[in-house]
Amino acid sequence: MTAQTLDDLLESGVAGRHVLVRSDLNVPLEDGAVTDDGRIRASLPVITALADAGARVVVMAHLGRPKGEADPRYSLRPAAERMAELAGREVRLAADVTGESARQEAADLADGGILLLENVRFDPRETSKDDAERAALAAEMAALAQGSAGTGAYVDDAFGAVHRKHASVYDIAAELPSYQGRLVTRELDVLSRLTGSPDRPYVVVLGGSKVSDKLAVIDNLMERADTLLIGGGMLFTFLKAQGHEVGASLLEEDQIPVVTEYLRRAETGGCRIVLPTDIVMASAFSADAEHEVLPVESLTTGTHGASALGLDIGPQTRVTFGEEIRRAHTVFWNGPMGVFEFEPFSHGTRTVAHALTEASGLTVVGGGDSAAAVRTLGFEDRQFGHISTGGGASLEYLEGKSLPGVEALERPAADAEQAGA
């Protein structure tokens, strides 16, 4: 069954109706201020489209992992304030999730009004493994939308959360007529192109700290991509599997057999694995650490010997990776090439980002740290074909896993009613 979309809902008319919208506002904060508003900006088009059409919009979202209880450090107030600034209109914030404040604020909403509920993860039932507990919370959420003569609706526009079987993502779809938001629709369209019949050459760039976080996606994409470029902390497990000494660099010894098998498959199959040929080795994990460039065959022969650790790919590798990316007609990138937060070790990530802006085909930045990196380094979203709002969700899709939030929107009505029982 194909999910109904936001356009279907708008065509049916939403003026005067309460519409629950699950958005992804899980933004980074520093000293109580939003440091990267990319997810807020991505969420606004659906919220404002509904408000402009006269809906009474009730937004649900999470931030961080507050462990099922109210914690001021994880309040959505900074997100609400930033959303109001960007939207140029009032965004009210309830003091709770489905309690007295949420009920009163939802009842008081006028046509075109926007209400943000407090962090849904302040309620332990949101992430409960108990189906009945999640269903009970979902019923309370749905009740917030029933003030308009029972004509409420639900829109899931939080792609970054669709891989979670949570009350505000999965169970709520059994309580109200449910629709797929434009952001989710766009994400699924792009990701299906990456796993279907992508234009070739198809290059996948993988970085980040741990190879264990990427095992399933590597396994799946080796069957689809033409070339895998490996950077970040995970590269050292690959180098160790080739017999190189990596000093004090991040290493997952237990993953060496798996990585060795990937290298063997690459030699016999159609997918190439391209590893760095030089590394920026540092004396410590610090922005002002002494550092030098060494070939991968000699990473422990520099100034700091076996105590050195790799914090970025080297200049020769940057050239190679850039050339591979620019030749590609489809590129998917997930994970920084080094410690981009430290300027001396940001050049590998910057090179990859810049190369993506010069590639001629579809370029996809896979959310999470990659999305944060391109913005931190001064790139604009419009320079890339697509920046995903869901790092974990994107990877699980590319691994071939089902996404509960997407499945919930596609359930036939009878199944949805049974799931909510």
Active-site annotation holds for 368 = yes
Reduce the DSSP state of residue 164 to 3 states and report it. Answer: coil
Calpha distance 11→70 (Å, rounded): 38
156 labelled ligand-binding: no
Q: Does the annotation place 214 within a ligand binding site?
A: yes
Q: Which of 68, 265, 392, 401 is catalytic?
A: 392
Q: Is 407 annotated as a binding residue?
A: no
Contact assessment for residue 389 and residue 38, using Cβ atoms and an 8 Å cutoff: yes
What residue spans of 214-359 are helical by DSSP H? 215-221, 235-241, 256-268, 315-327, 347-358
Answer yes or no: 39 catalytic: yes
Please tell me whether the peptide bond between 201 and the residue prior to it is cis, using omega within 30 degrees of 0: yes
Q: Which amino acid is at 117?
A: L
265 labeled part of a ligand binding site: no
Whole-angstrom distance, CA of residue 178 vs CA of residue 411: 10
Q: Is 24 annotated as a binding residue?
A: yes
| Catalytic residue, candidates 231, 368, 391, 420 | 368
121 is in an annotated binding site: yes
Of 186, 210, 375, 401, which residue is the catalytic one? 210
**Would the annotation count 67 as a binding residue?**
no
CA distances from 420 to 132, 173, 177, 373, 382 (A): 9, 8, 13, 40, 40
| 11 known member of a binding site | no
> Any binding-site annotation on 188?
no
- 164 in a known ligand binding site: yes
368 marked as part of a ligand binding site: yes
Can you give 74-103 as a three-state secondary structure string?
A: HCCHHHHHHHHHHHCCCCEECCCCCCHHHH
Whether residue 235 is annotated as binding a ligand: the answer is: no
Of residues 22, 39, 82, 134, which has the active-site annotation? Answer: 39
243 — alpha (psi -120 to 50), left (phi > 0) or beta? left
Is 92 an active-site residue?
no
392 belongs to the catalytic site:
yes
**Which residues are known binding-site members?**
24-26, 39, 62-65, 121, 164, 214, 310, 341, 367-370
**Which residues are known binding-site members for substrate?**
24-26, 39, 62-65, 121, 164
**Which residues are known binding-site members for ATP?**
214, 310, 341, 367-370
Catalytic sites, residue numbers: 39, 210, 368, 392
